[in-house]
């Protein structure tokens, strides 16, 4: 009789031969996603803005026996994105899985937020998805396959006090992702969103969180792995993640 480990679809090296790029893969949710995809056999490229955490994350990934590319990049800048994609593919090969994870949180009433804060949040949470996707999509079209997985939020489906510009970025991301999915599905490319609720990370949020009543970064990574390992004939377009216990 097969063991549970042998029959678990997420335990095999299902992504061997695949190359994944995870933005913001140096810490938090992004790092958990990168480690999960590497555990499934994918070669992984990560980027971030902090060299020390990028180096540490790259070492953890390499310890899993996969090829790794890491570099500092600001994914709100088109020139950085172009260099990131070119160098990642030069080292690892064509990107078959893109996880647009980079994001920040700024909370408070809209009338108390500055234009600088608006620009920083929208550029990181929304513009970066446009820039990185635009750089990767042509190769996916040529190969007629690929997965683009955008890390959104339940804040892209709901509103709450103090969430004005954050919710705006995530609602816009939902619309962008849905239209990308329709543009690309006939070309064999799937665009999906993962919408977590509160996650226990260093991510800037709205106060303290009880770890027992929020999601873990690994929960989001599990959802990404589920999307990345689905059969080619299926299209898991949107995943909502909630903690069992309400915060």
- Parse the chain into domains and list their residue ranges: 15-236
Residue 8: its pLDDT value, please? 54
User: Using an 8 Å Cβ cutoff, are 77 and 102 in contact?
Assistant: no
Q: What is the C-alpha to C-alpha distance for residues 1 and 202, in angstroms, rounded to an integer?
A: 43
**Could you tell me whether strands 146-151 and 97-100 are parallel, antiparallel, or unpaired per DSSP bridges?**
parallel
Residue 4: its pLDDT value, please? 41
Question: Distance of CA 242 to CAs 103, 113, 181, 194, 228, Å?
Answer: 19, 28, 24, 11, 20
- Count other Cβ atoms within 10 Å, centred on residue 232: 8
Residues 6 or more apart from 220 whose CB is under 8 A from it? 29, 32, 33, 151, 194, 196, 199, 241
Along the 247 residues of the chain, how does pLDDT read in single tens digits?
A: 444 444 455 557 999 999 999 999 999 999 999 999 999 999 999 999 999 999 999 999 999 999 999 999 999 999 999 999 999 999 999 999 999 999 999 999 999 999 999 999 999 999 999 999 999 999 999 999 999 999 999 999 999 999 999 999 999 999 999 999 999 999 999 999 999 998 876 654 545 567 777 899 999 999 999 999 999 889 999 999 999 877 6
Q: Is the pTM of this model over 0.85?
A: yes
CATH number of 15-236: 3.40.50.720
Which sequence positions are flagged as catalytic? 166
Nearest-10 crossing angle of helices 164-184, 128-143: 10
Helix residue ranges, H only, 27-114 = 28-39, 51-62, 78-92
Token pair of 11, please?
Answer: 């335990």
Nearest CA-CA partner of 193 in 143, 144, 125: 125
Residue 203: its pLDDT value, please? 52
**Could you tell me whether strands 97-100 and 68-72 are parallel, antiparallel, or unpaired per DSSP bridges?**
unpaired
Residue 202: its pLDDT value, please? 60
Residue 240: its pLDDT value, please? 97
Element (H, E) at 47: strand 43-48
């Amino acid at each position: 009789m097969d063991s549970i480990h042998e029959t678990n679809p997420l335990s095999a090296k299902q992504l061997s031969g695949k190359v994944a790029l995870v933005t913001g893969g140096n810490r938090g949710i992004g790092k958990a996603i990168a480690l999960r995809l590497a555990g499934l056999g994918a070669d992984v490229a990560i980027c971030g803005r902090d060299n020390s955490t990028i180096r540490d994350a790259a070492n953890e990934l390499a310890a899993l026996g996969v090829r790794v590319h890491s570099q500092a990049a600001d994914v709100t800048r088109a020139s950085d994105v172009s260099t990131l994609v070119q160098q990642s593919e030069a080292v690892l090969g064509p990107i078959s899985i893109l996880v647009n994870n980079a994001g920040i949180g700024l909370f408070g009433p809209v009338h108390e937020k500055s234009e600088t804060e608006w620009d920083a949040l929208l550029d990181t949470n929304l513009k970066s998805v446009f820039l990185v996707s635009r750089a990767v999509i042509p190769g996916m079209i040529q190969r007629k396959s690929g997965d683009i997985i955008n890390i959104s939020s339940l804040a892209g489906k709901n509103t709450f006090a103090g969430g004005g510009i954050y919710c705006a970025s995530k609602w816009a991301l939902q619309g962008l992702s849905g239209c990308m999915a329709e543009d690309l599905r006939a070309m064999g490319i799937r665009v999906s969103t993962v919408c977590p609720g509160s996650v226990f990370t260093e991510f800037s949020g709205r106060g303290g969180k009880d770890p027992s009543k929020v999601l873990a970064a690994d929960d989001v990574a599990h959802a990404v792995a589920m999307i990345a390992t689905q059969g080619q004939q299926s299209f898991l377009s949107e995943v909502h993640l909630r903690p069992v216990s309400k915060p």
